[in-house]
Structure formats: C-alpha cells, structure tokens
Amino acid sequence: MAILSFIGGIHPPERKELAKGRPIQEIPIPKSVYLFVNQNTGKPPAVSVKKGDSVKTGQKIAEAQGPVSVPLHSPVTGVISDIKKVMHPITQKPEELLVIDSETDQFDFLEPLSDWKAYDKEKSHTLLYERIKEAGIVGLGGATFPSHFKYLEAMKKPVDYVILNGAECEPYLTIDDRMMVEHPAQIVGGLEILLKICGASKGYIGVEDNKPEAFEALKKYANDRIEPALVKTKYPQGGEKQMIYALTKRSVPVGGFPIHIGVIVHNVATAFAIYEAVEKGKPLYERGLTVTGEGIAKPGNLWVRVGTPIQELITYAGGLHSEGGKVILGGPMMGVPIKDLTLPVMKGTSGILVLTPEMVSEINETACINCGRCLMACSLRLEPNYLVKLVKAKKFEEAYKYGVLNCCECGSCAYVCPSKIEHVKHFKLAKKLHATLKGGKK
C-alpha cells in the first residue's frame, strides 16, 4: 500500500513513546468543574441557567447563538455555585465561567436516533444535522469549529469525500491513536453517519504510518465506501489542507474551505462523539486527552469531564517531577502555554504537556540570514521569511497579497529557523488585524 504525503514539512522528535500504548483511563469525577461558556470557534452560547440551579449530566445549560455556535451541556450532576468572569487561555480575554459542584450522576440525554440508517435524504439532512448541533459537538482536534456548520454548504454543493483525520502529528500526543485502537467501530460508525448526511460516496481515515495498531484496527471495519489510508509520518500531516492533499491531491484555494473542493474533514475523536450523540443521544461533555512530557511522573491517556481542573489531571498522573517547567495546553508546536493550573479542560483540549525546566529556554531572536529553510519547511508553499519582513514593516496589504492569511500556524518555519524568528506570532498579528478590519471576530 502506498504511503501518502504532502510537499514540505519537518520531522521534530516525536516523543510519543512516553504515553503510546497506555490504555485510556477514566479519572474520577472532580468535586467541582469549572466550565468556560466560550468553547467553540464562532459565537459563544448564551447561559440559560443561574446560580443555585440544579443540573444533570448532559443537560443543556447554554443555548447556541446563530449558525456558527453550539450549545453547552453540564458535564456533571450538581448545583451551580458560581458564575464569574475568568481570563480565557485561548481568547486571552475575561470570559464567563460556570462553577458546578458535583454529585452522583443523573443523566439528561437526547433521544437516541438508532434507526438513522433507514433515513431518507431529507431526514438525514435535518435530523442528523440537528443532532450534531444539539449535542454541542465541535472539532476535537483543537480547532473547535462547530461540526454541524460544515454541512450547511454541503446541502448546496456536492461532496465527494469525507475525511477523518487520524494523523495526530503533534509530538507527544497519543490520545487519537488510542481512540482508534480502542474504539474503531464507533469511529467508523461516525464516518458512516457523516457520509449519510452529505451523500458523499467515499470516506477516508488518514492514519500516520507510526500507528500500525490503529491502522489495523480500523481496517477490520473497512468497506467499499470507507478506506483507512496510511500517510507519511511528517509534521504537519494532521493539518486539514495537508491531509486533503495527501489523500486526494486536491488543494484548498487561498481564502477557501475544503467544501469548495468537495471535501469535508473531521478529527477521529469528533467522529466518535458524533456516533455517541446519534446512537446514544449523548451530548459532548467529556473527552479523551494525553497527559505527558518529561516533567510528568506517569504519562498516560485519560478520559475526563470537560471542566476538570488541569491540576487534578497532573495529580492523577503522579504529579510534577520538578517545579519551574512549562505546562502547555496541547502539544509543543501549536499548544498554548499556561501558568494557572486551576484552569479547566475544554472541549478542544487534546493534551496537557509538561516540560522540565532544563527543556525551557528563552527565545533570543536575531536577524534573518535568508537561508531558505523556512521556505523548504512550509507545506503551503508560502515565503515565511518575506512575510515576516512585510508584517514587521506594517505592510499588511502586501502580506495579505502574498498569502499570510493562508498560513495554518503550524510553526514549522519557526522550528527550522536558525535565527529563532517567531514567524507565527507575527502572522497571527496580521490575521487578527485583517479580521478586525473586515468586521470579523476581534
């Protein structure tokens, strides 16, 4: 079987051996959960409960606001003890946060749609689409884009392929690998539901060739419409555009979306959540993640309620080896460093990475030497060195012309840069300014 890939990319140390092969363990429910209301790309939901209210596990506690929004559900049974504003680690703004003191689980699920395979086209478009939205499902690979919204355009445009992304190319992280090994039937079932909604004839599951056990597990459930496909172990193979090119040789146009070339992409964990929402009526209130790194005593893969404090996960994993290291939400390439360990797990939290003090160093940026390494690394064929110069000179319109908005923020350019230039930091600034000028999210 051919191993597929994309142009460019890098090979950072994988470091997956720390947690690879460790079965997913469900941790105890915390005494209290801390739930950010804003957990999706787009418009946050509006809180529909108040302090002192009793809630059940799976109960809707915030209503979606518009098409690019999803509701929020309680991850525990208990009482809402506080509603306050706390600095959000992703948006870097004070955001609404609910504190729920937990009790013994009592569940409030949606009605299962166990007969979905018999649905006609109209029922699939309406009932299954609405179920994904009402279950609060977002992209669990980290982007947290509302999963249902991808199918609004699909109802107007033909879709050829639905792709599940199982690359998990970010170093250290292994939760997607374990999900594919332990839950292949549910992941394939989720893909079948997605094919049903949009009418696509083919579904791929892209798996990096460093995950043979996951690939073999998925192959057992393959059929004429669903094909697990091996892709080369290379960063950022798990990028949406990179995965599409590897499997279909189609390229997403600048400023466009996968649907514009007849493709829809989801993470494998998202497909699992969609399967559970349809078959069991279960909203998205818990997820798997990896707690790992040289700074953690017992790395592993955990199943946790959204809203669990990060400190509890670190404690469950044996605690820190030493003080003074760095804790990152996600992986080392695209993750977000945090200092406050009382911050909670969110829907998009795929990992907690703990680095030792010896692994953390200050970045001392020097002048670009025009070596060209960033050009070779960029999988989207941009010119990172030139784009940085344009952004630094505040020549934003020219930077937009040369494709800065197409940057996927993977960090490959910065990784290979001998001058330690933080390209992504500058590109994010240019993109944020563009969104502000265009009236987008600020």
164 forms beta bridges with: 205, 266
Q: Give CA separation, 157 vs 160, 188, 190, 262, 344, in Å.
A: 10, 24, 21, 7, 38
Distances (CA, A) of 266 to 138, 233, 395, 424: 9, 19, 35, 24
Amino acid identity for residue 58 in this structure: G
Q: Yes or no: say if 134 and 109 are a contact pair by the CB < 8 Å rule.
A: no
Sheet holding 161-166, edge to edge: 226-231, 202-208, 161-166, 263-267
35 vs 99: CA distance, rounded Å: 6
Which of these, 217, 251, 249, lies nearest to 231 by C-alpha position? 249
Cross-strand partners of 157: none
Model pLDDT for residues 233-287, shown as the tens digit of each residue: 999 999 999 999 999 999 998 888 999 999 999 999 999 999 999 999 999 999 9
Question: What was the pLDDT predicted at 323?
Answer: 81
The DSSP result for 253-278, as a single string, is PTT--GGGGTEEEEEHHHHHHHHHHH
pLDDT 10s digits, 57-101: 999 999 999 999 999 999 999 999 999 999 999 999 999 999 999
Q: Could you tell me what percent of the chain has a pLDDT over 90?
A: 90
Does the structure show a pLDDT above 70 at 441?
Answer: no
Q: pLDDT for 323-375, tens place per residue?
A: 878 999 999 999 999 999 999 999 999 999 999 999 988 888 999 999 999 99
Q: Read off the pLDDT band of 2 (50, 70, 90).
A: low
Cα torsion angle, 150, 158, 204, 405, sign = negative
pLDDT in tens, 394-419: 999 999 999 999 999 999 999 999 99
Domains and CATH numbers, the chain: 16-20+112-279 (3.40.50.11540), 373-437 (no CATH)
Q: How far is 348 from 198, CA to CA, in rounded Å?
A: 25
Per-residue pLDDT tens over the stretch 385-394: 999 999 999 9
The mean pLDDT of the chain is 95
- pLDDT value, residue 440: 47
